[in-house]
Amino acid sequence: MQVLKTFYNDQQMTDSNSLANALMEKPAELSPIITHLAGKEDRRFPLTMLTEGVGNAKSIDRYEYEYRVKTHEVNIRPVVSAVGNGLGGAPFTLTFPDKWFVFPYTLISESGVQARIMSEPVQAGSNWAYTLQLIEPDAAASIPAADIAAGGMWAQLYANVGLDFSRGNASNWSTPGLVRNKIGTIRKSYHFAGNAKDYVAEFSLPTKGGKTTKLWMDYEEYQHMLKFKEECELLYWYGEKTYDNNGVTAMKDENGQPVITGPGLLQQIINKDTYSTLTESKIKNVIGDLFYGMTDATQKQITLYTGVGGAREFDEALKSHFSTGGAGNWKIGGENRFITGSGRSLGMSGYFTSYEHIDGHTVNVVKVPMFDHGPVAQARAKHPVTGYSMESYRMVFVDQSNYDGQANVQMINKKGREMMRWAVAGSVAPRGFDQSDSRASDIDGASVHMLKTAGIILKRFDTSLDLQCVAS
């Protein structure tokens, strides 16, 4: 998409090729197209681009939505108490905090000792007592004391049964948890005087067959539309719930109506960590841990969103790791060398913007202007060395994989309120809107209003990480 700031031409710029008029008629259909086209050239709204801009958005009839979340299954349990050690093949009892293990499965201890559950467990207060027998046939075998001490971990393997007349067993499969959230409404108004300047934005949009079509919109209105998308982007990142676990909202507006805001991406990420000076080891471990938990993901993808400060930390961490004598002592040749030129005319080029983990997956770094210059960045303290906002050093590793055929990050819209847009005419009507003689206001000017009811879903909130810098 190409955008040109030019003067209004009433002969060429009519209602039929007005983007403003088209958005009035089909705002839900055209808003994602504008997001996609503008997002390819503008990094101001990455989450909007990631969801709405590429079709990962859906509309619902309600203000409340719910979805199932399957987290990484923990198949181990700690010992609460023990009676006996299995010597000579004698049955022994292990007490666990819940009834996760299933009769007649075989369990394995931290040291590798295996024992079969011989009967259904029995409740013992708030815990469950299991009768087991060692798999090892040696009469002299017993369980190491550390395995049956309080806190010793056991895991479940398989169900081994008799040769004939065996019966089916229960299941300990954990069902996905139900997450219930709400979507909130935000809006923005744009007012302009009756003698507004005649600048318009002219768009060259690609069409089928490699052709282009030209549409236009009032230039100031276009800037306000982009600003509204920025504010939506802030909601998607930083939004915090205004309702409790029962869905009750105490906050009311001036009309007594509840003010609903759903959780943004950062509030949904449960993995939080800090760093002072980033190292390659930290990057490797973070990425490895996240990918390790994505057991059922397809098209595994993690993107690192950060500011200029975080991008520099990432680059310096990798350069420092591979340096033989400090970050500036590079001995890399070929096309990817860091030292360029010859003689007295030397230069340095090349920066790390991705990291390929040992498991074959690559994490790419995306710089987000919001982390450098957005309102949160402006409000936060400054880094003691660089003077950048501490928000610039924030690193958000976002799992953008697919699960069960669906994107992990999605946008949820209220049907009919995906993007509402209307004008209030005064002495003039906004260019591109119906130029009727009737007016709704006596103001020497006009206004345009935008409203959206939406929220962001992070379907797996344990496979992303919010890593913040804590400068010493």
Domain boundaries along the sequence of the chain: 58-72+174-197+237-330+346-472, 76-159
**CA 296/CA 69 separation, integer angstroms:** 12
Position 333 pLDDT exceeds 50: no
3-state secondary structure of 118: coil
Q: Kindly give, in sequence order, each residue whose CB lies less than 8 Å from that of residue 227, ignoring residues fewer than 6 positions away.
A: 188
Q: With bands split at pLDDT 50, 70 and 90, how would you rate the model's confidence at 468? A: very high
Pairing of strands 92-96, 362-367: unpaired
pLDDT at 162: 58
Rounded Cα distance, 49 and 60, in Å: 20
* Reported confidence tier of residue 339, pLDDT bands at 50, 70, 90: low
Percent composition of the chain: helix, strand, coil (DSSP 3-state, to 5) = 25, 35, 45
Pairing of strands 272-275, 465-469: parallel
Task: Yes or no: say if 117 and 103 are a contact pair by the CB < 8 Å rule.
Answer: yes
Global pTM value: 0.74
- Ranking 4-8, 280-284, 318-322, 388-392 by mean pLDDT, the lowest is 4-8
Q: How many CB atoms lie within 10 A of CB 401?
A: 21
Query: What's the rounded Cα separation, in Å, for the pair 99 and 204?
Result: 64
**In whole angstroms, what is the distance from residue 55 CA to residue 410 CA?**
9
Q: Summarize pLDDT for 38-93 with one digit per residue, the tens.
A: 655 567 888 888 888 778 888 888 888 887 766 555 578 999 999 999 998 999 99
* The pLDDT of residue 116: 92
pLDDT class of 331 with cuts at 50, 70, 90:
very low
> Rounded mean pLDDT of 276-295?
86
Provide the b/e sequence for 172-192 (b: ≥16 CB within 10 Å): eeeeeeebebbbbbbebebeb
User: 3-state class of 149 per DSSP?
Assistant: coil
pLDDT at 39: 55
Start-to-end CA distance of the chain, whole Å, equals: 44
Does pLDDT of 323 surpass 80? Answer: no
- Rounded to 5°, the CA angle 8-14-17 comes to 105
pLDDT, one tens digit per residue, over 184-225 is 898 888 877 665 557 777 777 767 777 777 777 778 888 888
**DSSP tag of 410:** E
Mean pLDDT of the chain: 81
Torsion of CA 394, 460, 108, 124, to 10 degrees: 110
The neighbour count for residue 169, using CB atoms within 10 Å, is 14
Q: pLDDT confidence of 427, banded at 50, 70, 90?
A: low
Q: pLDDT tens for residues 14-41?
A: 666 666 666 666 666 666 666 665 655 5
The pLDDT assigned to 33 comes to 65
Between 57 and 331, name the one with better pLDDT.
Answer: 57
User: Can you tell me whether residue 260 is helix, strand or coil?
Assistant: coil
Alpha-carbon distance of 172 to 372, in angstroms, equals 47
What are the beta bridge partners of residue 465? 397
Q: Are strands 445-458 and 409-414 parallel, antiparallel or unpaired?
A: antiparallel
Please say if the pLDDT value at position 390 is more than 90. yes
Alpha-helical runs (H) found in 239-368: 265-268, 280-292, 308-322
**Residue 259, token pair as written in the block:** 């003010």
